[in-house]
Amino acid sequence: MIRYIFVRALTGILVLFLVTVTTFLLFFAAPTDVGRTMAGKMATPDMIALINHRLGLDKPLWYQYGHFIWRALHGDLGYDYYHGQSVVSIIKADAPVSFSIAIGAAIIWLILGVGSGIISAIRPRTITDRVLNVMALVFYSMPSLVLGSLFLYFLYYKLTVAHHPWFPAAGYAPWLGAPGPTSSDHGLFQWGRHLFLPWMTLALITAAAYTRFTRGSMLEVLSEDYIRTARAKGIPERRVITRHALRSALTPVVTQFGIDLATLAGGTIVTEKIYGMPGLGNESVNAINNQDLPVIVGILVLVSVFVVVANFLVDLLYAVLDPRVRLY
């Protein structure tokens, strides 16, 4: 088990290294000039060269990369090119929004998707099974932009017109601390109220996929000989499901969850855009448009660390559910 953990941790460090190297290479390979973008169309070559020199962009690539890694190891990710703001302070301000959306949505889709899949599998070809399958197919076929727009129309606009403004259309209310930049509300209730629509937008589409995936996995396990043997021994059906079938059926679901964590960042960016939330997704889009390398790399490193750590935990859970994976 220790060897398994060591190999997975080493793989995560290698992934983080490749992410930073790839980001640097893509930034320098792109046909852009940060100095010209910052100085404007009327800038002289001397002004552009001066800006690039002050930002250290006239140094060799290997020097810039080494300088970044050295500072990152000391907790310094550099400064925003345009406002001189620390990248760490930008991430501290925006990360709670994105992580609140991502973690909340992941918990909801696991509960809804796995729960619906299990119910659908233990009651095959019933009305419940057919209804859950139709709902899963509808949500699975729906883009997050469409689903978010429907939520905004029915759960924000219609309710507000009917004098029931339960959900806000945009903004973020922090759980702890001072009010956020786009909302004067704060506290646990307001935090959940602002995040409910983004959570459901991001979670329902993925939950639909997990419903179908879990149902298929459960049906396959329930047809195994050892399940029939357990039933033949007179073991109660509830115990057959929870003690014998569920563990085997959830192993591929855990694997799929690890894969989906890597794509969660993309879904969070779209959701932040739909609901105008001041998270890392909005910040990264602005940074890419402005060619703001320190902000781009800082956010990518943070998101990569989140994905690597989450996958590491998923791998450990996978090894607990299925001890055979420790051999690889």
How is 49-114 classified by DSSP, letter by letter? HHHHHHTTTTS-HHHHHHHHHHHHHTT---B-TTT--BHHHHHHHHHHHHHHHHHHHHHHHHHHHH
Identify which of 269, 127, 104 has the alpha carbon closest to the alpha carbon of residue 188. 104
Identify which of 300, 299, 303 has the alpha carbon closest to the alpha carbon of residue 88. 299
Mean pLDDT across the stretch 253-266?
76
pLDDT at 182 over 60: no
Domains of the chain as residue ranges with CATH: 1-74 (no CATH), 90-325 (1.10.3720.10)
- List, in order, residues 6 or more apart from 313 with CB less than 8 Å away: none
- Digit-coded pLDDT (tens) for 67-126: 888 888 888 888 888 777 888 999 988 888 888 998 899 999 999 999 999 999 988 889
Mean pLDDT across the stretch 292-311?
84
What pLDDT was estimated at residue 34? Answer: 73
CA 142 to the chain's CA centroid:
19
- List, in order, residues 6 or more apart from 49 with CB less than 8 Å away: 35, 58
- List, in order, residues 6 or more apart from 285 with CB less than 8 Å away: 269, 273
Mean pLDDT across the stretch 209-219?
89
What pLDDT was estimated at residue 61? Answer: 83
Which residues make beta-bridge pairs with 79? 86
Percent of the chain residues past pLDDT 70, beyond the cut: 93
What pLDDT was estimated at residue 30? Answer: 67
Supply the Cα-derived Rg of the chain in whole angstroms: 24
CA distance 172 to 76: 27
325 DSSP assignment: G
Which residues make beta-bridge pairs with 86? 79
What pLDDT was estimated at residue 286? Answer: 85
What pLDDT was estimated at residue 258? Answer: 75
Q: What is the pTM of this model?
A: 0.79
